[in-house]
Amino acid sequence: MKSKKKWGSGLALAALIALTAACGNNGNNASNSGGDASSAPPASESSSASPSASPSAGASSEAPAGKTITLGFAQVGAESGWRTANTKSIQDSAKNAGFELKFSDAQQKQENQIKAIRSFIQQKVDVIAFSPVVESGWDTVLKEAKDAGIPVILTDRAVDSKDTTLYKTFIGSDFVEEGKKAGQWLVDKYKDASEDVNIVELQGTTGSAPANDRKAGFQEVIASNPHLKIIASQTGDFTRAKGKEVMQAFLKAHKDIDVLYAHNDDMALGAIQAIEAAGLKPGEDIVIISVDAVKDGMTAASEGKINFIVECNPLLGPQLMEAVQAVVDGKEIEPRIVTKETTFTSEQAKEALPSREY
Ligand code: AHR
C-alpha cells in the first residue's frame, strides 16, 4: 500500500578486491602485423589499427619489436548508455595502447558473439576479449579458442563455465555487491516501516550475469525486513524502450507501487516516462533505485527523479589493455579484477554531475 515513510541515507562505499592466485600464461606472441583483416568478419565487425604503441592505456610495451598486438573484442551490443561508454573506452584504450582492434557488435545475441569469437580464432588474433551477453553456453567456443592457443579475457560479465582455465581473467564489477548496495539503501530508508512496502523490479537481460546477480544481492539484503515485498519482477532487457513498456504494465496491474528497483539507468529512465505519463511523480510517488550512474541517470537523480544510484563503471578499456599486454608478455595475471565503484543519492548526483565522464 502507498504510504509516506521516514528514511535515512544509508550509503555504502564499495571497496574493491582483486582476488589472489595468479595463473599461468598461454600467451600467443604470433601477432598479425598491421591491420590485416583478410578473413571475413561477422557483419557488424570492424577493424582498426594504430601504428605506434603508447603507454597511455597503462600497458607496458614488451611485445616483440615491430609486432602489433591484435585484439578481437566481441561486444554485447549497444543496448544502453553504459554500453556506449564501455565501447568507447575499449576503442580509445586499444588505440592508445597501439593495438589493432577487431570489434564486433553482437546486438544482444549470444549466437552472434559465438560467430565473432570463431571468426577471431580463424583470423588468429593474439587475444580474444568479450563481454558475454548471458552466463551459460560458452564452454565449446572457449575450448576452441584454448585449443587454438588464443588466450581469452572476460570483461564486464562472467560466464558460468566450471573450467576456469578457459579464460585468463575476468575484469569487471561485482554485480552481487551492486544489488546488495541497492538493497541496503532501501533497508535503511524503510527501517521504521510498519506497513508493507511494495517493490517492482525491472530486471536486466534474462540469463545475464548482471541481471542474475543484481537480483540475488538485492533479495538477500531486503530479506532482513519482511515489510519489503517484491510484488512484480520482469525483464526490461536493459533498454529504455522495454523499461517503459514493462513499467506501463506494472502500473496497470498494481495501484500500490511504492518502489521501483531497475537493474540499470536506461530502464529506470524509460520507467520514469511511464510513471509521468500515468500522472505520478517519479522519486516521490514512487521511489526509484537504479544501477550504472551514466550521465542521463545522474541527471534524473540530480532532479530528484531517481533517489539512489549504484555505480557500475563502464571504463574498463585501460585495465583490459593492461591485461592483454601482460598475457602477450607471458606475465602472471590476477584471475579476477574487480572494478572500483561507489553510490549516489540525489544530492551526491547533483555534485558529481558536472565532472561525470560518461
Ligand atoms: O553488464 C553491465 C550492464 O549492461 C549495465 O549495467 C547495463 O546498463 C548494460 O547494458
pLDDT digits 0-9 by tens, 102-160: 999 999 999 999 999 999 999 999 999 999 999 999 999 999 999 999 999 999 999 99
pLDDT digits 0-9 by tens, 274-290: 999 999 999 999 999 99
> Whose CA is closest to 102, among 170, 148, 168, 35?
35
- pLDDT greater than 90 at residue 71: yes
Domain count, the chain: 2
Cα(58)–Cα(24) distance, rounded to whole angstroms? 21
Residue whose CB lies within 8 A of the most ligand 1 atoms, among 90, 134, 238, for a mutation test: 238
Burial of 227 from C-beta contacts in 10 A (0-12 / 13-18 / 19+): middle
Residue 80 CA to ligand 1 centre (angstroms): 7
Q: What is the pLDDT of residue 39?
A: 35
Whether residues 231 and 278 share a domain: the answer is yes
Strands of 152-155's sheet, edge to edge? 45-48, 100-105, 70-75, 127-130, 152-155, 169-172, 336-338
CATH code of the domain covering residue 130: 3.40.50.2300
Residue whose CB lies within 8 A of the most ligand 1 atoms, among 171, 292, 298, for a mutation test: 292
Burial of 253 from C-beta contacts in 10 A (0-12 / 13-18 / 19+): exposed
Q: What is the mean pLDDT of residues 62-72?
A: 78
pLDDT digits 0-9 by tens, 222-253: 999 999 999 999 999 999 999 999 999 999 99
Q: What is the mean pLDDT of residues 334-354?
A: 96
Q: 182 lies in a domain? A: yes
Residue 81 CA to ligand 1 centre (angstroms): 9
Whether residues 221 and 247 share a domain: the answer is yes
Q: 159 lies in a domain? A: yes
Q: 213 lies in a domain? A: yes
Q: C-alpha dihedral over 49, 51, 57, 61, to 10 degrees? A: 120
Residue 76 CA to ligand 1 centre (angstroms): 9
Whether residues 27 and 161 share a domain: the answer is yes
Residue 105 CA to ligand 1 centre (angstroms): 15
Q: 346 lies in a domain? A: no
Cα(302)–Cα(298) distance, rounded to whole angstroms? 6
Residue 194 CA to ligand 1 centre (angstroms): 34
Whether residues 127 and 85 share a domain: the answer is yes
Q: Which three cell numbers stand for residue 233?
A: 519482477
Q: What is the pLDDT of residue 18?
A: 34
Nearest ligand 1 atom to alpha carbon 314: 2
Nearest ligand 1 atom to alpha carbon 266: 8
Q: 354 lies in a domain? A: no
Indicate the helix (H) or strand (E) that contains 117: helix 110-122
Residue 290 CA to ligand 1 centre (angstroms): 11
For residue 176, how far is the Cα from the chain centroid? 12
Q: What is the mean pLDDT of residues 187-197?
A: 97
User: Phi/psi at 265 (nearest 5 deg)?
Assistant: -65, -40
Q: Which three cell numbers stand for residue 204?
A: 536486466
Q: 348 lies in a domain? A: no
> Whose CA is closest to 357, among 311, 323, 300, 319?
311
pLDDT digits 0-9 by tens, 155-178: 999 999 999 999 999 999 999 999
Whether residues 79 and 59 share a domain: the answer is yes
Q: 352 lies in a domain? A: no
Whether residues 28 and 140 share a domain: the answer is yes
Q: 95 lies in a domain? A: yes
> Whose CA is closest to 73, among 254, 334, 320, 244?
320
Whether residues 166 and 190 share a domain: the answer is no
Residue 175 CA to ligand 1 centre (angstroms): 10
Per the prediction, the chain carries an average pLDDT of 87
Whether residues 282 and 193 share a domain: the answer is yes
Whether residues 197 and 292 share a domain: the answer is yes
Domain interval for residue 320: 2-173+313-341
Q: What is the pLDDT of residue 287?
A: 98
Q: Which three cell numbers stand for residue 281?
A: 511523480
Torsion sign over Cα 25, 26, 27, 29: positive
Whether residues 304 and 273 share a domain: the answer is yes
Q: What is the pLDDT of residue 138?
A: 98
pLDDT digits 0-9 by tens, 88-107: 999 999 999 999 999 999 99
Residue whose CB lies within 8 A of the most ligand 1 atoms, among 90, 312, 316, for a mutation test: 312
Whether residues 155 and 18 share a domain: the answer is yes
Whether residues 93 and 240 share a domain: the answer is no
Residue 1 CA to ligand 1 centre (angstroms): 31
pLDDT digits 0-9 by tens, 258-270: 999 999 999 999 9
Nearest ligand 1 atom to alpha carbon 77: 10
Provide residues with CB under 6 Å of ligand 1: 79-80, 82-83, 156-157, 210, 238, 264, 266, 291-292, 312
Indicate the helix (H) or strand (E) that contains 147: helix 139-147
